[in-house]
Amino acid sequence: MNKSMQEALSRLKFTHLNISTTLNENFYGQLDSLNEGSLVLKEANDQLKIINLDHIVSITILNK
């Protein structure tokens, strides 16, 4: 993921996202933080999920 994409994502803190990965996993939650090489997603049950940026296939921004 390039730097401009990471900067755009960092402005979406607390936005609801649906993320698909190369491992055919789908995650839904609020963007908690963006770290070096990973995205932290806060799921509905308040669990934090760390997703490697290299594994992300698509990110859908959801209106909530």
Give me the pLDDT at residue 30, please. 93
Give me the pLDDT at residue 1, please. 64
DSSP string, 40-63: EEE-TTS-EEEEEGGGEEEEEEE-
Residue range 32-44, pLDDT digits in tens: 988 888 999 999 8
How many residues in total does the chain contain? Answer: 64
Q: Which domains does the chain have, with CATH numbers?
A: 3-62 (2.30.30.100)
Residue range 13-57, pLDDT digits in tens: 778 999 999 999 999 999 998 888 899 999 989 999 999 999 999
Comparison of pLDDT for 12 and 38, the residue scoring more: 38
The token pair that represents 2 in the structure block: 């390039």
**Average pLDDT, integer, range 53-62:** 92
pTM for this prediction: 0.77
